[in-house]
Amino acid sequence: MTAYNVEKIRKDFPILGIEVSPGVPLVYLDSTATAQKPAVVIDAMDEYYRTSNGNIHRGVHYLAERATSMYEASRAKVAAFIGADKPKEVIFTRNATESINLVAQTWGRAFLNKGDLVVLTEMEHHSNLVPWQMLAKEKDLRLEFITVTEDGELDQAVYDQWLDQGPKLVAFAHMSNVLGTINPAKAMIAKARRAGAITLVDGAQSVPHFPVSVKDLDVDFMAFSAHKMVGPTGVGALYGKEELLDKMPPYMGGGDMIRKVYLRSFTPNELPWKFEAGTFCIAEAIGFGAAVDYLNSIGMDAIANYEHQLVQSALIKMKTIPGLEIMGEKAAHRGGVVSFTLPGIHPHDVAQILDQNGIAIRAGHHCAMPLHDKFGISASSRASFYLYNTEEEINHLVVSLQKVVKMFS
């Protein structure tokens, strides 16, 4: 087995060599928000525009057919990456948010009725809360929530109680973007299936960081984004089981999602194009495929193992800082996310001071306001790690945080 060579990996990412000010190199610890891009992804998109720019699915000329082939090849790569049976079970969207909205506005509108129970969790990103709140208001649905324990884990006993009430849908994050908690998705999906519920998993934080197989999980829907997995912004994916996608009405109307149009009616296209209206972000989809190739070249198991080492080191070293409290510190299974607070110091002040030292972290509620309310705080600071971060960067973070504490004391 080849040793994990982080220095070699870092050379693949042009942006990691910049200085944020003279003599101050970038330390990027905000990959949970968006990951940096390797040169091969940037080059793949550039090559498309330079040599293959044509509209997909609609032309028979050389460029159109070449663009279509590249676009559909990326779909096949993404499908294989998550273990889907068929490429047509992968719908390209703008991001994980749109993927979840697609399910809410098509499957949800078609198959959920007044009084139906939808089970969510207290740790959800707003993208997996607001679409269901909107639909619940429209259709008079009932929303209930799996509570989060003090350790930062989902209370499975509460989950069992909701399952006893016969939910139609269970939707939850595979990994929390705030706590870093990796939820027991396979077991939760199996329970939901026995209760007769459809499942949707927000994989925005899991698919980029460790091996995920939708077939092994037996999940009905999974949403994720390219930009969090070293791919471009503006493109994501929805995985859905073929039998569910077939029954769902189209999401948007327009070109390419139709087979036949009359003045007063239309016949929708077959999967996956039924859900991909209009000219899509072709270059970005091709970049998505290149990102999958890149991650595969390193190996998802290797990435997961390396991140685990990083986050364990970070947890130990950050706990030496007086007063620092880590959200969900005791979760049994966690990914490369550490959200924390410092007494008497606002997270935005922490982030601004760290930025002066070249360190990029996130401060705020991280699109998870109810979770912060649960922990009795309005905001937190968040450092997140990915395949290109180093032990030296963790040391720099800890030293800089010590300076922040000293400055405010």
Bridge partner list, 266: 261
Nearest CA to 194 out of 228, 215, 178, 218 is that of: 218
Q: Domain range holding 20?
A: 6-30+299-408
Same domain, yes or no: 207 and 257:
yes
Same domain, yes or no: 307 and 291:
no
Query: Looking at the predicted structure, is the pLDDT value of residue 374 above 50?
Result: yes
Specify the DSSP element, H or E, that contains 337. Answer: strand 337-341
In a domain, residue 37? The reply is no
Q: Which token pair is 210?
A: 């460790």
Q: Which token pair is 24?
A: 């101050």
* pTM for the predicted model, two decimal places: 0.96
Distance between CA 16 and CA 38 in Å, rounded?
A: 10
Q: In what order do the strands lie in the sheet with 362-364?
A: 325-326, 337-341, 380-384, 362-364
In a domain, residue 154? The reply is yes
In a domain, residue 36? The reply is no
Mean pLDDT of the chain, nearest integer: 96
**Local confidence band at 2 (pLDDT 50, 70, 90 cut-offs):** low
**Local confidence band at 113 (pLDDT 50, 70, 90 cut-offs):** very high
Return the CA Rg of the chain: 22
Task: Read off the DSSP letter of residue 149.
Answer: P
Nearest CA to 381 out of 347, 354, 405 is that of: 347
Domain termination site, one of 261, 278, 296: 296
Start-to-end CA distance of the chain, whole Å, equals 48
- The helix-helix angle for 39-51 and 62-81 (nearest 10°) equals 160
Nearest CA to 31 out of 236, 202, 231 is that of: 231
Torsional sign, CA 369, 373, 374, 380: positive
Domain termination site, one of 296, 314, 342: 296
Digit-coded pLDDT (tens) for 217-237? 999 999 999 999 999 999 999
Contact 81, 292 (CB under 8 A): yes
Contact 101, 125 (CB under 8 A): no
Same domain, yes or no: 199 and 280:
yes
Same domain, yes or no: 103 and 212:
yes
Mean pLDDT of 312-339: 93
Digit-coded pLDDT (tens) for 125-159? 999 999 999 999 999 999 999 999 999 999 999 99
Mean pLDDT of 382-406: 97
Same domain, yes or no: 289 and 303:
no
Same domain, yes or no: 256 and 280:
yes
Query: Looking at the predicted structure, is the pLDDT value of residue 258 above 90?
Result: no
Same domain, yes or no: 242 and 305:
no
Domain termination site, one of 296, 315, 340: 296
Distance between CA 100 and CA 124 in Å, rounded?
A: 12
In a domain, residue 92? The reply is yes
From the number of C-beta atoms within 10 Å of its C-beta (0-12, 13-18, 19+), residue 235 rates as buried
Contact 171, 118 (CB under 8 A): yes
Q: What pLDDT does 397 receive? A: 98
Digit-coded pLDDT (tens) for 44-81? 999 999 999 999 998 889 999 999 999 999 999 999 99
Same domain, yes or no: 110 and 239:
yes
Same domain, yes or no: 160 and 304:
no
In a domain, residue 357? The reply is yes
Contact 238, 99 (CB under 8 A): yes
Digit-coded pLDDT (tens) for 157-182? 999 999 999 999 999 999 999 999 99
Number of domains in the chain: 2
**Local confidence band at 19 (pLDDT 50, 70, 90 cut-offs):** very high
Same domain, yes or no: 21 and 149:
no
Contact 95, 234 (CB under 8 A): yes
Percentage, residues of the chain above pLDDT 90: 93
Nearest CA to 285 out of 213, 241, 225, 242 is that of: 225
In a domain, residue 333? The reply is yes
Distance between CA 120 and CA 154 in Å, rounded?
A: 11
Catalytic machinery residues: 367
Same domain, yes or no: 263 and 308:
no
17: domain CATH number is: 3.90.1150.10
Same domain, yes or no: 104 and 118:
yes
Percentage, residues of the chain above pLDDT 70: 100
Residue type, 241: K
In a domain, residue 265? The reply is yes
Query: Looking at the predicted structure, is the pLDDT value of residue 21 above 90?
Result: yes
Distance between CA 83 and CA 224 in Å, rounded?
A: 14
Mean pLDDT of 358-377: 96
**Local confidence band at 1 (pLDDT 50, 70, 90 cut-offs):** very low
199: domain CATH number is: 3.40.640.10
In a domain, residue 35? The reply is no
